[in-house]
Structure 1
């Protein structure tokens, strides 16, 4: 491989900033164009949009009665020369009605084409990275989210709107205020590498929290799923790409003012709760079944047994139990809500396009002090400064208040109902269990200040070369910044001596892209070529000051110098990327399609010998329905075949290739002296560490039948990730414990299907349905050149989410012949390998945590001005998929006697021999296997009923549109899973989960 040039190495090093080469070249080019334009002849120029205000790419523009013509570029712009007066232009584009426009005056033309509804589904424009393309000409696996269907759902995070919306895009649940759900595309492609989906916001990489984005500001989200489409982003795109585009002004003439407000109530969708007093006492009796009940059956109560003799001293007065029945759960929770308010002003003139929006969102979660308040402001401006120059800015600021520390829900379930969090004087009791377990409300009675300020701005200029038709240059300068403040003070901290700290973090990155685009139409040949050169620089800093031991903590974190013990910590990093990208889209005769892409990336975080990586892709398409031999198939309106192959990369963690330093107790100076920590190198450097590479083949079909009453897309893919980043154990005799290297391969294959049907098309009533289905199967192909890694739960030939466990055959009962190490009430472990012994050799792969398939069904029914929309979402495990451990077991110990628990769990006792949950009174059995259950579910995820008031009523008040609606979220879930919601991490019958919230909303949208 070509060695990394010295000056590029300097540009990519964390010690140096990226050179401003692309910016200087961009400014120089603009100055040259100004001088050229001064001598250019008069042009006829303008833009072409559709009826929604979106630019249309590739529109044929011809001077009437001549052979002079051109096509619109990626921004819908055109320019051509003409002489004489009384000229007229003919605009034509597949899927739109042709239009003739007279040329009068010298100003730019703003042309709007009306769609031909019969062909509209074939000509939609989608974002494809560094530009847009007609959907009919896309050869990769690119899907657009249907955001309009869920606009009125109570989602504070834009990613929530994608759940069940796009096949192959997997979005997890949200369980806390303002949080961002998990996101993945087509399964897991790495083990130790980055698993994040790449987010592109208005053409610029976005590395801040998605909770900072106001969902109402977003116009569209396009998903790049296969390597042939993600390769344009090279080294960071192996996990898929989300292209998020913000709204813009699209109203010509009079400004459009939109107002909206909504209120949502939120409560848990399930019924998990802690034990009350009587349930807790029954649990304690069950733990002492051999004492609380009489032999030999142990089913008849023992009158001599006194619960007060076995519970903690804090829960009894002498030989009597305290009468307390405190509900810790009620004290820690409340009804949640979301209040959302939006305002925007948008419009467009011949030369200026603008959108100004503001929003305030206030969410209070189900758990007290789970708070999220967001104030946001967006300004998008674009100006056609001259016939050849367009300038614009896409900016927003988001300011988040997350003050308040919620009590730990796990601790709430662990507290006994016989205790209270209060002292006799009403103050909080730090240790209800006499210094054993702290009160969960210690995190509530604190001074907690948490703020996050986000600033984003993309400033761009675009030039249409006046001397070369179809050639445009665009420079993007995107800036992305964040400031985080977390201040905390608690009189209970530091062993009740008081503790406070201040943490300040800052993050900033810039993206500088130079994009050259050429659009040409030569008879039956159409070319769209794109070249990109860009650079990214990121910088992060954090400082924390902590004080412990306050004689008076009244000033809290505002005077840490009062603390007896003071310490400070700091951290930071700086990293840089450079990249080149070239892409060619070629179309012949409107039916033969070709896309070829190559991108080369350099990253400062990679090893010295592998700073650069190259990522190519190739895809092709064939619109069969345009062939003459297909014309006789009357029911078939549209059919396109696609095939693609590409390689995308995955970056490593920064410093992953360098020596890693750890610390440990090293020296003691003198008898009774304090321990001094020393540093040592724990991880050996690897100068040959390489990028992970994901190679993918994709085959797809796009179709429309029965006059496009049914349209759809089908994709099959097979991907393989090589050179997995992995930390390998090495002999300590080397002086090191691990080395980070490239080993192993994993694969993912599956298919995705989308069907859109127009079930009923009537004058007053219509009904449309969208069905999405996806299946993905992962497989570990190779590890360290050989065997399984049982400790890491990785097995050759098995899914990444393989579950390794035991087979059981019920629970041992009284009177059974029980082997040593097991007791009545414990699981009967099967000798799976039939060697006469029950041990860890009897483990096997019992199933996988990965789903077998996912599906969703969206229905939209409209009767006159009333619209009903509802989305059913489902994840299914099949025979042995989508499994998780869900077997609470309990043994007689001080902790289990003292703690509460989850209500509704009946453990095994002689009185309940058929209970599936084990209980043991002595030491833990030799093997305590977990039982895995299916998490399959079907959920009514979103439902909205809306009504548009008749225009004849509202226009008298100066209102263009007034819509009122009611919606619900997560209202019904059908599942056999027990405990927290099946999608929740750490769910099931354990206290470590969080509730999935269901919500009811009412709202109004007004357009003036």
Structure 2
């Protein structure tokens, strides 16, 4: 019997052909799939880690590991595309190959990174102004709560100060001072929108790049607000065609004072008191023989307080004579810390990208209750609505908590260790010494709420017109909101009667920018133009409810009506700006560059006759390395010369051009009657008040030499600020003593140098170094133009410390030359041993205010210098950053005087241990000590010069073999240090910290000083 086949296998020519075709197809497909391995190096044979290998025409790819090797599955007929930033892209046909080794050639043009220049971006090779990019990556793992701290010393000309309180923003300036009384704030632009919030609100992990506009040509696009320079902050974003990537980082940092200064304890404190009484403890005139009648300050309890000492002995406080040794400083301080946790998710598709990030930063300062907490959320979205229309949003919310009042630091230092803050019932003693000095813990034993909520969003829409190649239009609409709550209550305040209050402040602004751009290349001609029309409005208002005289404060600030003396106040302002700007860029044959800008600004705060102003600028660039005569200069990879000149402005404070009214008590109706309040003019109007204008010239050179082994930038600049905003004193017969007007002229000049070298580059070890140098000097050229004394020269404004031909930071004071010694002859009348020897400038034998003061130096630095070294060995990397500010020739000096003149209040006060006082036993002491205060005391100045080991970070990045096993894309651990060592001759807390508004320049041995923090950080970064 014949066996039947399955119908499919029955003979059929079509079916047979189908079987053969499928078999061959399957066999061929398997035959074409294979694995390619290889390496990617530079032309010197050194491996390139992180190079990208893409299967041409697809998104399939791989990347090289630390040793420059790769592996990828492809078809034999595939073409592989090899690329890496800074190198020329290569394509290799993989047909018939199992191994591919590629040597990439450096591409200098690609090494020229893209920088943000204001209302756009540009390749650095095309920039004609002084624009610098900050190195953020090196300092990502430093324990910085504020992004500004990561900029200290990294950009020449950008001057960032130190901070000494939790969450604080350091002082920021660019190229020194260009104004006397005008606004000195640097303009901050966040994602293209002016940002008027605090930098403490920004999560440093969200920041992608920071670019600094320094000269008038580059800042002119921001017109009247840009005289002090511009910082452009760009936040992170997602990537197109990337699967979701989750990045988590966490770190913990310790914080302690960079200098270990502490107040004196009991034994040293008692010696300190007795030292002040050397004129009673030892016999005149040499004060070297002990006085047998003096047995010690505390031992002479029966001494009459009204005797020859002239000071109270026991102050009525029996606690003085116990064996108490209370450590006020330890009770008010602690080991601080910073804890930082961040998480972000990035990714995108072909048509969109996204970033979502969360951050939590908690800082407890060295001073108890000096706390800072920031919670932040950011969402950045970018999407293509069509092939020619792009829309997006960049938004964040930041919620800052700074609850808690600190103990008064000055009071902690001066509190005597022989006293305690509590009485026998455990209650705080208001005035432990019986003098006016209060208990330092009164200020911290309070209810205190301080919250700041920041909300920011920039919504944008950009159209690339398909019918006009190169033409685009962008609309930016930005909003800033800030809500501040400051609530407080203290039963110890208001003379012990208690006080409480609520202060609520609202700020908001909007910015609307319309930006039209055109960029096109016509053969050798590269043309670009930007046209801007924008408007901005800022609003602020506050309401403050306050009350004193509480019977009880159990409900704190939540029941202000219980206060016997209520007070309510409120305020508000609103101002508007509008502006137009046109910028033109032209480059010919990749050699010659021309940039021109003109901006028109209008501002509501200026007078009716001066509402608007124009700010033009121009710049030239010459790429010398593209010239034929440079063909034989093989060591020159890139050389560009730049020159620019422009005008920028500075705004007057709002309402200063107007006649303003104040409210004051005006009339009392009858004896014992109520007081009526009226209004009166408080200032004169100035209808011609106008902008400050700063005209600046900048000449620079950019270069890359020796096959990218050395690159750098040098800039030399000079600017002149005219029409300085200043309150000029006028005769009081007008009813006013001053008026805001435009006077004077100020010059500002300097030099900036930045050099980066690839010193060593082997397969396993790399060493790069970056050195920065900057020097800046300002000089007052003109003031009011008056010559009241008739000497033919313009008068200085001595009361305002302003002198023609001198720096704004000039120090006009008495020159001291040591301390008068016991037995010294010719001590002037009114002075005695232990007091400063003041130089008699006119040799008349008298010390007078009019004749014996002189310019003894300046607060301004001589120069700034920094050095960053980065070492990489396999998976390890080490960065070491030194920062320094130097004086010399009486520059960068500041008062650091702790002269002690005895009186009935100060005799009890404690002080910092280790202050070098003069005494008969210590005639070489630095600081004056005397039972009496002379009429003119003089003071002592010190050089603030220092070299600081500011940042150091050691990091280990795990290799691909471990990452693959853990199914993660990146993993690194690190340890870093901040302000670990400072070399200086300055005595005290820190020479660098300053607060110009409070006239603080350097924190010395003063009892009111505050330490700068140092510490170590440990952390981990991981990405999935």
SS of 2:906's equivalent in the other structure is helix
Go from structure 1 to structure 2 and tell me whether the alpha carbon gap of 1:470 and 1:281 turns closer, same or farther (over 3 Å shift): same
Partners of 1:136 and 1:318 lie apart in 2 by 77
Alignment of 1:2-401 (within 5 A): 97=88, 117-120=106-109, 122-250=111-239, 252-305=241-294, 306-308=296-298, 309=303, 321-401=321-401
Tell me which residue corresponds to 2:1012: 996
- Tell which deviates more after alignment, 245-254 or 755-764: 245-254
Matches within 5 A, 1:731-770: 731-770=731-770
Which moved further from structure 2: 432-441 or 369-378?
432-441
- Secondary structure of the residue aligned to 1:307 is coil
Match of 1:899 in 2: 909
For 2:982 and 2:320, locate their aligned partners in 1 and report how far apart those are by CA, in whole Å.
44
The superposition leaves residues 959-990 of structure 1 with CA deviations (integer Å, 9 ceiling, x where unpaired) of 11110000000000000000110012341121
Q: Aligned equivalents of 2:436 and 2:811: distance in 1?
A: 35
CA distance in 2, matches of 1:504, 1:955: 53
Q: Which residue of 2 aligns with 1:444?
A: 444
**Matches for 1:693-842 after TM superposition, within 5 Å:** 693-785=693-785, 786-817=794-825, 818-840=827-849, 841-842=851-852
SS in 2 for 1:832: coil
Cα distance in 1 for residues equivalent to 2:663 and 2:934: 37
8 Å Cα contact 2:317-2:433 kept in structure 1:
no
What is the CA-CA distance between 1:124 and the residue it aligns to? 1.0
Partner of 2:41: none
Unaligned runs of 5+ in 1: 1-50, 54-87, 102-113
Whether 1:945 and 2:946 are equivalent positions in the alignment is: no
Matched residues in 1 for 2:250 and 2:213: separation?
33
Alignment of 1:642-681 (within 5 A): 642-662=642-662, 666-671=666-671, 678-681=678-681
Aligned to 1:566: 566
Instruction: Count how many residue pairs are aligned between Structure 1 and Structure 2.
Output: 911
Q: Deviations over 1:580-624 (max 9, x none)?
A: 000011100011001000000000111111000100000010000
Conservation of the 8 A alpha-carbon contact between 1:264 and 1:1000: yes
Q: CA deviation at 1:669?
A: 4.3
Match of 2:638 in 1: 638
Determine if contact 1:251/1:346 at 8 Å carries over to the other structure.
no
Q: Is the 8 A contact 1:315 1:418 kept in 2?
A: no
2-side partners of 1:956 and 1:400: how far apart? 40
Once the two structures are TM-superposed, the CA of residue 676 in structure 1 deviates from its matched residue by: 5.6
SS across alignment from 2:687? coil
Is the CA contact (8 Å cut-off) linking 2:114 and 2:123 kept in structure 1? yes
SS of corresponding position for 2:468: coil
Match of 1:33 in 2: none
SS in 2 for 1:126: strand
| Shift in alpha-carbon separation, 1:241–1:734, aligned structure 2, 3 A | same
Please identify, of 163-172 and 275-284, the stretch whose mean Cα deviation from structure 2 is larger. 275-284
Which residue of the partner structure matches residue 602 of structure 1? 602
Q: Look up the SS of the partner of 1:391 in the other structure.
A: strand
Give the Cα separation in 2 of the matches to 1:883 and 1:662.
41
Instruction: State which of 967, 970, 983 in structure 2 corresponds to 1:961.
Output: 970
The Cα shift of 1:661 comes to 3.3
| Structure 1 residue aligned with 2:984 | 975
3-state secondary structure, aligned to 1:235:
helix
Q: Distance in 2 between matches of 1:813 and 1:187?
A: 42
Deviations 1:265-294 (A, max 9, x none): 000000221121122222221221111123
User: Quick one: distance in 2 between partners of 1:99 and 1:268?
Assistant: 54
Tell me what 2:484 maps to. 484
Report the Cα distance in structure 2 between the residues aligned to 1:125 and 1:813, rounded to whole angstroms. Answer: 65
Q: Is the 8 A contact 1:621 1:643 kept in 2?
A: yes
Range with bigger deviation, 655-664 or 707-716: 655-664
Asked whether the 8 Å contact 2:756–2:768 carries over to 1, the reply is yes
Q: For residue 139 of structure 1, report the CA deviation from its aligned partner.
A: 0.2
Contact 2:649–2:692, Cα closer than 8 Å, also in 1: yes
| CA drift at 1:932 | 1.3
Output the TM-score relative to the length of structure 1.
Answer: 0.88
In 2: Cα distance, 1:781 partner to 1:91 partner: 59
In 2, Cα distance between the equivalents of 1:93 and 1:357?
28
Q: CA deviation at 1:915?
A: 1.1
Residue of structure 1 equivalent to 2:934:
925
CA distance in 2, matches of 1:980, 1:471: 57
Q: Whole-Å Cα distance in 2 between the matches of residues 115 and 989 of structure 1?
A: 58
| In structure 1, C-alpha distance between the alignment counterparts of 2:221 and 2:821, rounded to whole Å | 63
1:444-463 deviation line (CA, Å, top 9, x unaligned): 11111111110000000000
C-alpha separation in 1, matches of 2:919 and 2:950: 39
Change beyond 3 A, Cα 1:317–1:391: closer
* Kept in 2: contact 1:122–1:135 (CA 8 A): no
Query: SS at the partner of 2:340?
Result: strand
Distance (Å, rounded) in 2 between the aligned partners of 1:899 and 1:521: 75
In the TM superposition, residue 753 of structure 1 has moved relative to its aligned partner by: 0.2
Contact kept, 8 Å, 2:317 with 2:434, in 1: the verdict is no
For the Cα contact (< 8 Å) 2:435–2:905, is it kept in 1?
no
Report the counterpart of residue 58 of structure 1 in structure 2. Answer: none
| Structure 1 residue matching 2:992: 3-state secondary structure | coil
8 Å Cα contact 1:487/1:503 also seen in 2: yes
Please, which moves more after superposition, 314-323 or 190-199? Answer: 314-323
- The answer on whether the counterparts of 1:526 and 1:586 sit within 8 Å (CA) in structure 2 is yes
What is the match of residue 53 of structure 2? Answer: none
The answer to whether the 8 A contact 2:240-2:350 is kept is no
Once the 2 structures are TM-superposed, how far is the Cα of residue 807 of structure 1 from its aligned partner?
Answer: 2.2
1:884 and 2:911 correspond = no
Deviates more, 1:897-906 or 1:123-132: 897-906
Counterpart secondary structure, 2:857: strand
Q: Describe the SS at the equivalent of 1:297.
A: coil
Q: Please state if 1:621 is matched with 2:621.
A: yes
SS of residue paired to 2:733: helix
Asked if structure 2 preserves the Cα contact closer than 8 Å seen for 1:718 and 1:747, the reply is yes
Following TM superposition, by how much is the alpha carbon of 1:410 offset from its aligned partner in structure 2, in angstroms? 1.3
RMSD over equivalenced CA pairs, Å = 2.3
Q: Which deviations, in whole Å up to 9, do the C-alpha atoms of 1:301-322 show, x marking residues without a partner?
A: 3342241347756677769722
Q: Secondary structure at the match of 2:489?
A: strand
Aligned counterpart in structure 2 of residue 854 of structure 1, from 858, 861, 864: 864
Asked whether the 8 Å contact 1:315–1:419 carries over to 2, the reply is no
SS where residue 965 of structure 2 aligns?
A: helix
Contact 1:312 1:898 in 2 (8 A): no
State how far apart, in whole Å, the 2-side matches of 1:953 and 1:858 are. 30
How far off its partner does 1:412 sit?
1.3
5+ residue gaps, structure 2: 1-47, 51-78, 93-102, 306-310, 786-793, 995-999
Secondary structure at 1:901's aligned position in 2? coil
Cα separation, partners in 2 of 1:240 and 1:517, compared to 1, 3 Å: same
Return closer, same or farther for 1:661/1:275 CA change in 2, 3 Å cut-off: farther
For residues 951 and 52 of structure 1, the distance between their equivalents in structure 2, rounded to whole angstroms, comes to: 11
Q: Could you tell me how far apart the structure 2 residues matched to 1:278 and 1:574 are?
A: 59
Q: Give the whole-Å Cα distance in 2 for the aligned partners of 1:519 and 1:636.
A: 29
Offset at residue 495 of structure 1 (A) = 1.6
CA distance in 1: counterparts of 2:917 and 2:336, whole angstroms: 33
